């Protein structure tokens, strides 16, 4: 076979590939990626006042809502920075990466009518939505689809991850933050024991004796960023009775808060959960209940303050 014949064969094969390629790309859409049409476009021009993440099979809704006191998630205080991050991207989502065209694939890809969907509420009273499936484990991104559009796209960027958070993932973990440089007194109660730590010019006292400096240091290390290990269920929170706490801690700084020239910086109530090995915690003037790890509580409320010999 000479060079001229090889050239003719190559041209014929090339033409055949070009003719067959559109059919190859117009398969049932169960895999592959192709830029087609206008793609996925979800644009919100009005101010966003709420985002509902409706779980698959209507198993529940994670509702983010803006109120007079800020953003909440299902009525709980929401983490402001996480909401800001979401609002920064959800109003302008776009993708031209097609992964399926056949509606028979919708349920398997999590973007069917019974799948998870995201509904955005605006200041004008509008409600716009899109279907959001799970993460594409092969190539990253998340499966998305607009209502009435059979085409499924892959959405890259952080929005899919943000919208996949459970309710508690939107809640702030920080319980309190205390400037330890200003702390002058700490009152601790645990079971039927009570102890008082006082800062003097010569150091910390436990009662009238010098306090163990290592114990005090571990305690003070917790106060600037006292963070929850998690949250109780609604049933656990409803059953928690903080009128008779198992332990408590009050932290005071020097100020003009009362006649003793003490100013209350932190008042924390605690209930021990022996089955889980951790604690339920609530600020004395608050309503939200947190879980604190046993190690955190042991540092914050040591079972014994050993005086320096």
- Whether residues 45 and 101 share a domain: the answer is yes
- Whether residues 41 and 162 share a domain: the answer is yes
- Whether residues 87 and 53 share a domain: the answer is yes
List, for residues 254-284, the tens digit of each pLDDT value: 765 555 678 999 999 999 999 999 999 999 9
- Whether residues 178 and 82 share a domain: the answer is no
List, for residues 124-164, the tens digit of each pLDDT value: 999 999 999 999 988 889 999 999 999 999 999 999 999 99
pLDDT of residue 283: 97
**Which of 18-32, 97-111, 162-176, 263-277 has the least mean pLDDT?**
18-32
pLDDT of residue 32: 29
pLDDT of residue 1: 57
Residue 17 lies in a domain: no
- Whether residues 184 and 257 share a domain: the answer is yes
Residues 289/227, Cβ–Cβ less than 8 Å? no
Q: Which residues pair with 140 in a beta bridge?
A: none
Residue 10 lies in a domain: no
Count up the domains in the chain and report the number: 2
Residues 77/171, Cβ–Cβ less than 8 Å? yes
Give the mean model confidence (pLDDT) for residues 282-299.
96
pLDDT of residue 128: 96
Look at residue 40 and tell me whether its pLDDT is greater than 90.
yes
pLDDT of residue 262: 83
- The pair of structure tokens assigned to 238 is 């409803």
Residues above pLDDT 90, as percent of the chain:
75
- Whether residues 55 and 179 share a domain: the answer is no
Residues 262/254, Cβ–Cβ less than 8 Å? yes
- Whether residues 178 and 163 share a domain: the answer is no
- Whether residues 222 and 292 share a domain: the answer is yes
CATH number of the CATH domain containing 218: 2.60.40
pLDDT of residue 180: 94
Look at residue 226 and tell me whether its pLDDT is greater than 60.
yes
pLDDT of residue 287: 92
Look at residue 102 and tell me whether its pLDDT is greater than 70.
yes
Residue 7 lies in a domain: no
Boundary residue ending a domain (169, 194, 221): 169
Alpha helices by DSSP H, the chain: 3-25, 80-90, 159-162, 213-222, 234-239, 294-300
pLDDT of residue 20: 42
- Whether residues 148 and 36 share a domain: the answer is yes
The helix (H) or strand (E) run that includes residue 24 is helix 3-25
Residues 213/305, Cβ–Cβ less than 8 Å? no
Question: What's the predicted TM-score (pTM) here?
Answer: 0.78
- Whether residues 52 and 154 share a domain: the answer is yes
- Whether residues 223 and 262 share a domain: the answer is yes
Residue 287 lies in a domain: yes
Residues 6+ apart with CB under 8 A from 237: 280, 289
Residue 204 lies in a domain: yes
Residue 21 lies in a domain: no
Residue 13 lies in a domain: no
pLDDT of residue 258: 54
Is residue 207 very low, low, confident or very high in pLDDT (cuts 50, 70, 90)?
confident
Give the mean model confidence (pLDDT) for residues 14-25.
42
Give the mean model confidence (pLDDT) for residues 280-296.
96
- Whether residues 117 and 184 share a domain: the answer is no
Mapped onto helix, strand or coil, the DSSP state of residue 277 is: coil
- Domain boundaries, position 153: 30-169
Q: How far apart are CA 77 and CA 73, in angstroms?
A: 6
Give the mean model confidence (pLDDT) for residues 185-208.
90
List, for residues 74-91, the tens digit of each pLDDT value: 999 999 999 999 999 999
Boundary residue ending a domain (169, 192, 213): 169
Boundary residue ending a domain (144, 169, 194): 169
pLDDT of residue 192: 83
Is residue 193 very low, low, confident or very high in pLDDT (cuts 50, 70, 90)?
confident
pLDDT of residue 94: 96
List, for residues 22-39, the tens digit of each pLDDT value: 333 333 333 323 333 479
């Amino acid at each position: 076979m000479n060079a001229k014949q090889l050239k003719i064969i190559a041209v014929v094969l090339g033409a055949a590939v070009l003719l067959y390629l559109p059919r190859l790309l117009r398969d049932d859409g169960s895999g592959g990626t192709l830029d087609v049409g206008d793609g996925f476009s979800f644009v919100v021009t009005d101010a966003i006042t709420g985002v509902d993440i409706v779980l698959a099979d209507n198993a529940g809704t994670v509702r983010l809502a803006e109120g007079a006191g800020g953003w909440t998630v299902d009525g709980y205080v929401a983490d402001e920075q996480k909401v800001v991050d979401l609002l920064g991207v959800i109003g302008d989502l776009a993708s031209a990466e097609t992964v399926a065209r056949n509606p028979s694939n919708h349920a398997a890809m999590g973007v069917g009518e019974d799948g998870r969907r995201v509904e955005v509420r605006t200041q004008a009273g509008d409600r716009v939505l899109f279907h959001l499936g799970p993460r594409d484990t092969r190539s990253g991104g998340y499966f998305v689809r607009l209502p009435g559009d059979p085409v499924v796209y892959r959405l890259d960027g952080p929005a899919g991850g943000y919208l996949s958070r459970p309710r508690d993932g939107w809640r702030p973990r920080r319980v309190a933050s205390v400037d330890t440089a200003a702390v002058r007194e700490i009152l601790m109660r645990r079971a039927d024991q009570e102890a008082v730590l006082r800062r003097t010019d010569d150091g910390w006292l436990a009662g009238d004796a010098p306090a163990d400096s290592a114990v005090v240091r571990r305690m003070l290390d917790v106060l600037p960023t006292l963070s929850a290990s998690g949250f109780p269920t609604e049933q656990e929170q409803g059953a928690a009775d903080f009128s008779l706490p198992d332990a408590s801690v009050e932290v005071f700084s020097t100020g003009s808060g009362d006649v003793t020239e003490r100013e209350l910086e932190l008042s924390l109530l605690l209930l021990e959960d022996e089955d889980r090995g951790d604690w339920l915690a609530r600020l004395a003037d608050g309503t939200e209940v947190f879980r604190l790890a046993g190690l955190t509580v042991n540092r914050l409320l040591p079972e014994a303050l050993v005086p320096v010999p």
